[in-house]
Structure 1
Amino acid sequence: MTDLIGTWELRSYYDIDDNDAKSEGPLGDSPRGLLIYESCGHMSVSMMRTDSAAAAVRFMGYAGTWRLRGDEVVHAISVCSNPAWAGTEQVRQLTLSGDELTLIGAAQVDGRTQRRILAWRRTIHPC
């Protein structure tokens, strides 16, 4: 899907638990981030916390390759700020509408599965 190719700016990042309760994601209520998908299959994402809270997570990022699988995008991670993710594949459900991209993943938070919702807006169109 060539519609993913380009650079995306993070608009929001939050969690939804199994009771559909919404809470802020690990990077606070106003994170910043860039997601880049290249036509040759490489990808990179960098995200950071912008507030001054003394939180354990201040930066998240990884790079590797990407491929589509139905309505999902699979990120094969080569390097990562979390060494445990290096060499793994992270699968995200995707919804794309024009220049708006939503990626949904899952995470274990306090022993419960949370849906991680990341909303992106295209900032730079493909070269």
Structure 2
Amino acid sequence: MHKPTPLIGTWSLIDWYNETETGERLYPLGPNATGYISYSQDGFVFVHMMASDRVSFETSDPFGGSTAEDSKAYKTQITYAGRYEYHGDHVIHHVTQASFPNWIGTEQVRQVSFSGQNLHLSATNAVFQGQKVNAFVEWRRAVT
């Protein structure tokens, strides 16, 4: 059993933006992205974020999309999972599965802070959309 932490539970995405070195804000999945992050008691993290305006495929077969449909679907979501270690001011996600194959086997380090029911995660010197950025993701405890 994992040591209890304030991360445990499921959180809903409020906002994800990346800030460039010049201070420009970029929204990789658009300003209305949705998603969840879930930290389990047994030490696993699961993350899924997606654009709110994703386009459906022409077919009902999840593996039957055209190359253009597949590309657009891939570029409008991000997901990963693995074990995590909580260290108070930061958390390390040990990625074992990911929609972006290059993250498999990596450690994704996120700075952690809380305010009320909100969780703030950030990463410095990340690379998204060809630019070095600082990433800021805000979550709120999911309600049932």
Shorter-chain TM-score above 0.5: yes
RMSD of aligned Cα (Å):
2.1
- Provide the C-alpha distance between the structure 2 equivalents of 1:14 and 1:119, rounded to a whole number of angstroms: 9
Code of the aligned partner of 2:50: M
- Provide the C-alpha distance between the structure 2 equivalents of 1:110 and 1:120, rounded to a whole number of angstroms: 22
Contact 1:6 1:124 in 2 (8 A): no
- Provide the C-alpha distance between the structure 1 equivalents of 2:94 and 2:33, rounded to a whole number of angstroms: 23
Unaligned runs of 5+ in 1: none
- Provide the C-alpha distance between the structure 1 equivalents of 2:34 and 2:129, rounded to a whole number of angstroms: 24
Corresponding position of 2:58:
none
Contact 1:44 1:63 in 2 (8 A): yes
Q: Name the SS for the 1:84 alignment partner.
A: helix
Q: 2:123 aligns with which of 105, 108, 117?
A: 105
Displacement, 1:69? 2.9
Corresponding position of 1:57:
75
2:62 aligned with 1:43: no
Matched residues, percent identical? 36
Code of the aligned partner of 1:98: G
Number of residues of Structure 1 aligned to a counterpart in Structure 2: 124
Within 5 Å, give how 1:1-127 maps onto structure 2.
2-24=5-27, 26-52=28-54, 57-106=75-124, 107-109=126-128, 112-124=131-143
Q: Which has the higher strand share?
A: 1
- Provide the C-alpha distance between the structure 1 equivalents of 2:40 and 2:53, rounded to a whole number of angstroms: 30
Code of the aligned partner of 1:123: A
Query: What per-residue deviation string (whole Å, max 9, x for no partner) do you get for residues 94-113 of structure 1?
Result: 11123101111142246542
Which one has the largest radius of gyration?
A: 2
The normalised TM-score by structure 1 is 0.86
Q: Name the SS for the 2:102 alignment partner.
A: helix
Displacement, 1:47? 0.7
- Provide the C-alpha distance between the structure 2 equivalents of 1:6 and 1:51, rounded to a whole number of angstroms: 27
Unaligned runs of 5+ in 2: 56-71
